[in-house]
Amino acid sequence: MTTTIKTADWLNRNQTQFIEMADTIWGHPEIRWQEFQSSKLQADYMEEAGFEVTWDIGGITTAFMAEWKLESADGSAGGPKIGFLGEYDALPGLSQKNIAVQEAIEQNGHGHGCGHNLLGTGALAAAMSVKQWMGETGTAGTIRYFGCPAEEGGGGKVFMARDGVFDDLDCAFNFHPGNVNTTMKGSAVGVNRYYFRFHGRTAHAGAAPHLGRSALDAVELMNVGINYLREHVKDNVRLHYQITHGGGAPNVVPDFAEVFYYVRAHLPEDVAEVSERVIKVAKGAAMMTETECEVVYDSGSSCVLSNHALADLQYEVMQRLGPIEFTPQEMAYAAEINEKNPPGTKKYLQTSYGLTEEEVEMPLLGQVRPSLDEGRVMTGSTDVGDVSWITPVSMLITTCWPTNVMAHTWGVVATGRTGIGHKGMMYAAKVMAESAVELFKDPARLQQVRAEFEAQIAKRPYVNPLPDDCMPPNNRHPLR
């Protein structure tokens, strides 16, 4: 007789190894496309655990897929194919000690300011516990863990999506650390990222300015044009820029200048339309300044298609598991960090996440909540969006940092290697694993998830946003 292992129990018994993995990644933060140690650590672990590892997914040297499958006893059925999406990239400039005051470990160093040390490890832990359960119960099927690089500004999954690695999945599980336990039913905007490179003519800025054609003038005029364009776009459009090259000495008319743009909008047709208008502004600036404009597509991602059936399933599992219990020490640590956040954060949380006035006063929110974002479009973007157009994807958020902390700030790093982050990560692993088990056990439930997805895709088929010649950087992986 086989005994059924509940994935949550297995995760409780085996949590130390996952906490150690998340802490190791936290302690060695690597930014986009350079996740050498983090990817190697996870791939080696999965290989040792019996998964088959394939590197270079999507042409990215720090991307890998770990697959494990079990055929039915008579070899007749393959069972469902379920994916788990992991990430492990850090952010530049967010180095931070494991303390409740803002203090860098290394000035301008990297830090896990979006909690991806927890994100990747939590998804890996979920895949591991489902493997244990499948093995113990003899349940046929395939599980895949995807080590996805460069979520921050690189869109690793979009290259992986173009390569077709998600095509035959029945669904995929994904979670993101945050300050509430909830499942998302809303969307997030898509994005195109471009470099605009202007080429002019150099001259002595004092002696012969009339002979020069300033590339920097073109960048500045382009930015002015964009700032007028803002008035005439839809509400959820966001246009951000950074001047990445502005010339050298002020007494030299610069013959080269560069500006980096993010063009965000909700639906793919909106992103395409606003991008065309941005390119027109760049060309106008080039015409005004008699310079040449080179448009270089850097990366992009599509908006998120959320799956309500998966969200409901995860909410049921969360209700079964109950809230995350935080200790008084963890509450006190979180309260100390909360106090240091800018005024206005609480108001922002109330309006964006639907939290009450009492809730925003709590240091940590361990309770379970239904979706808070149905019908809403978040104005950030994620490369999970592209996976969500290929297979149904769960959008789970668990409490890994204090209530008033926002992603991409020091408070996230300060909590990412504490009991708070660890509890949120293990909780997410349990929710994803138990939900996956439900889908293995109940084909009708999986069918419901698929049917919702297929209805969405029938209306608007997926088009990968990357131009054919847009490739990820080909960094040599020094540890492979």
Least Å from the CB of residue 216 to Zn ion: 33
How many other C-beta atoms are found inside a 10 Å radius of the C-beta of residue 195?
A: 15
Least Å from the CB of residue 380 to Zn ion: 9
Rounded CA-CA distance 167/171 in Å is: 10
Least Å from the CB of residue 444 to Zn ion: 33
Q: How far is CA 239 from CA 202, 232, 317, 432, in A?
A: 30, 12, 38, 34
Rounded CA-CA distance 84/71 in Å is: 19
Q: 275 or 306: whose CB is closer to Zn ion?
A: 306
Least Å from the CB of residue 56 to Zn ion: 23
From the list 69-77, 113-121, 243-251, 456-464, the region that binds Zn ion by CB under 5 A is 113-121
From the list 21-29, 106-114, 289-297, 299-307, the region that binds Zn ion by CB under 5 A is 106-114
Rounded CA-CA distance 147/42 in Å is: 8
Least Å from the CB of residue 7 to Zn ion: 24
From the list 64-72, 107-115, 274-282, 397-405, the region that binds Zn ion by CB under 5 A is 107-115
Exposure class string for 3-13: b at 16+ Cβ within 10 A, else e: eebebbebbee
How many other C-beta atoms are found inside a 10 Å radius of the C-beta of residue 228?
A: 9
412 binds Zn ion (CB under 5 A): no
237 binds Zn ion (CB under 5 A): no
From the list 109-117, 251-259, 338-346, 443-451, the region that binds Zn ion by CB under 5 A is 109-117
From the list 112-120, 223-231, 239-247, 274-282, the region that binds Zn ion by CB under 5 A is 112-120
From the list 39-47, 111-119, 220-228, 280-288, the region that binds Zn ion by CB under 5 A is 111-119
Site for Zn ion in 429-448 (CB under 5 A): none
Rounded CA-CA distance 180/402 in Å is: 9
* Residue with smallest beta-carbon separation from Zn ion: 114
Least Å from the CB of residue 21 to Zn ion: 18
Least Å from the CB of residue 114 to Zn ion: 3
Nearest 5°: phi and psi at 335? -60, -40
Q: 177 or 472: whose CB is closer to Zn ion?
A: 177
Q: Which of 114, 143, 216, 378 binds Zn ion (CB under 5 A)?
A: 114
CB–CB of 148/86 below 8 Å?
A: yes
Q: 114 or 311: whose CB is closer to Zn ion?
A: 114
Q: 114 or 337: whose CB is closer to Zn ion?
A: 114
The secondary structure of 36-70 as a DSSP string is HHHHHHHHHHHHHTTPEEEE-GGG-TT-EEEEEEE
The secondary structure of 158-188 as a DSSP string is HHHHHTTTTTT-SEEE-EEEESSBEE--SEE
Residue with tokens 């040449």: 292
Exposure class string for 57-80: b at 16+ Cβ within 10 A, else e: bbebbbbbbbbbbbeeeeeeeebb
Rounded CA-CA distance 74/55 in Å is: 31
The DSSP code for 367 is S
Q: Find, among 245, 265, 244, the residue nearest to 254 by Cα.
A: 245
128 CB-contact burial (10 Å; exposed 0-12 / middle 13-18 / buried 19+) = buried
Least Å from the CB of residue 32 to Zn ion: 11
From the list 96-104, 114-122, 303-311, 437-445, the region that binds Zn ion by CB under 5 A is 114-122
Q: 114 or 274: whose CB is closer to Zn ion?
A: 114
Q: How many residues touch Zn ion (CB under 5 A)?
A: 1
Site for Zn ion in 187-226 (CB under 5 A): none
Least Å from the CB of residue 397 to Zn ion: 11
Q: 60 or 309: whose CB is closer to Zn ion?
A: 60
The residues that touch Zn ion, with contacts defined as CB under 5 A, are 114
